Structure 1
Amino acid sequence: MELDDKVYSQIVQMCEKGDNLVEEGELHKAIDLYTKALDLIPSPKNHWEASTWIYTAIGDAYYIYDEFEMAKSNFYNALNCPEGTTNPLILLRLGESLFECGELERAKEYLLKAYILDGEKLFVEEDDKYFELIKDII
């Protein structure tokens, strides 16, 4: 299944504007725009590839904002969309969000999956505490 070209174009434009807002530090405005883009996707949303990257963008914005419960929720949504379970960034951010929510065992699971898919390089720009959580089991 593919989205209508006009709808897809609208979604891409909205997400690009959202990405720019994130770079400018306008995270809540970005989240609002990403949410509006997600609203354009037919239900069930988890059947569409576009939902994977929109949920990831929303989760990332919440993560940057230190709103880890909301980040976690959106990364779980992204995980359940096409190719979500094989996306190292989704797994990494979900693991980091779980860590920040105090769910360390679940965090280990997702951080380890991210490591398995993309290696230590994925953790280079991240806080050392995330890699420290899994280094004894790799």
Structure 2
Amino acid sequence: MSELASDVLAQIQSLCEQGDQFAGVDDYAAALEQYWQAWDLLPEPQTDYEAATWILAAVGDANFLGGDYEAGRDNLSLAMHCPDAIGNPFLHLRLGQCQFELKDLDHAADELSRAYMGAGAEIFEDEPKRYFKFLKTRLDPPEGGW
């Protein structure tokens, strides 16, 4: 994993905070502009940086929440090549949700099960019920039930 210069990291964090503010008021297009500006500050190869993981997580989240499931799938799949992404329950959740919405149910089940294994049923609590309901059709119930 490569390290960023502190001034570059500060710029990236500032842009991502601005993006988060836009996302917080459902202005996903403006949020994405900020996140991509932050991405452009990463030296190549961008996927070597921890910041790439959380930038792409924010991008994929904005894609998902904005209904652009193809872009969400693509950006979250790219995030899986970044440091500490594999095993991150949130990334697996959003990637699985995008794949579910795209009717790629086998991949959706795989990613949603990874989210469940990493964070338990709690990760689905604030999400539409259809995702956990679908996952339960693909997994054996844990001891004691769902």
User: Is the structural similarity TM-score above 0.5?
Assistant: yes
The residue identity in structure 2 corresponding to 1:68 is Y
Q: Which has the higher helix share?
A: 1
Q: Which runs of 5+ in 2 are unaligned?
A: 141-146
In the alignment, what sits opposite 1:90?
Answer: 91
In the alignment, what sits opposite 1:24?
Answer: 25
| SS at 1:86 equivalent | coil
In the alignment, what sits opposite 2:60?
Answer: 59
Deviation at residue 115 of structure 1 after TM alignment: 0.3
Question: C-alpha offsets along residues 100-136 of structure 1, whole Å, 9 cap, x if unaligned?
Answer: 0010000000000110010000011111111112214
The residue identity in structure 1 corresponding to 2:8 is V
In the alignment, what sits opposite 2:9?
Answer: 8
Mean Cα displacement is larger for which, 93-102 or 122-131?
Answer: 122-131
Number of aligned positions between the proteins: 138
Percentage of pairs with the same residue: 36
Q: Which runs of 5+ in 1 are unaligned?
A: none
In the alignment, what sits opposite 2:100?
Answer: 99
The residue identity in structure 2 corresponding to 1:119 is G
Deviation at residue 20 of structure 1 after TM alignment: 0.4
Instruction: Work out the CA distance in 2 between the residues paired with 1:80 and 1:87.
Output: 12
Instruction: Name the larger-Rg structure.
Output: 2
Give RMSD over aligned pairs: 0.9
Instruction: Work out the CA distance in 1 between the residues paired with 2:96 and 2:75.
Output: 12
Deviation at residue 25 of structure 1 after TM alignment: 2.0
Deviation at residue 79 of structure 1 after TM alignment: 1.4
